[in-house]
A = this chain, B = another copy of it.
């Protein structure tokens, strides 16, 4: 079974290519056939199909064939996985900022207490 870490590897790998990012942007506007998706690219169909298969295997799109036309649909849920990972990173930074803030406050309090002792 594919685990969470492998799935993240695959989605990030899928986005590390301008053609695949452009296809995802296009599919954000609605489902489209392979030939419509391929039209803007100066690329042989077999090369383009490799990108489509990559996107499908990463779970970022689904495809289905009706007659001779294969249609691609965006799978938005898989985007959430990346957003969640990025949000996790932010949470780590923010926790750290909070700790630093507490350190500074504790030091200020210590200095004020020391100042108070002197004043006595």
Q: How far is the CA of A86 from the CA of B18 in the complex (A)?
A: 14
Residues of A in contact with B, size category? 20 to 34
Number of copies: 2
Given A25-B89, A25-B92, A28-B96, A16–B13 Cβ distance below 8 Å? yes
| A8 proximal to B (CB < 8 A) | yes
Listed in ascending order, the chain A residues whose CB lies under 8 Å from chain B are: 5, 8-10, 12-13, 15-18, 21, 24-25, 28-30, 74, 76, 79, 82-83, 85-86, 88-90, 92-93, 95-96
Distance between A114 CB and nearest chain B CB, rounded to angstroms: 27
Contacts A28-B92, A30-B96, A74-B93 aside, 17 further interface pairs with beta carbons under 8 A come to: A5-B18, A5-B21, A8-B16, A8-B18, A9-B16, A10-B16, A12-B12, A12-B15, A13-B13, A16-B16, A21-B85, A24-B89, A25-B88, A28-B96, A29-B95, A29-B96, A83-B86
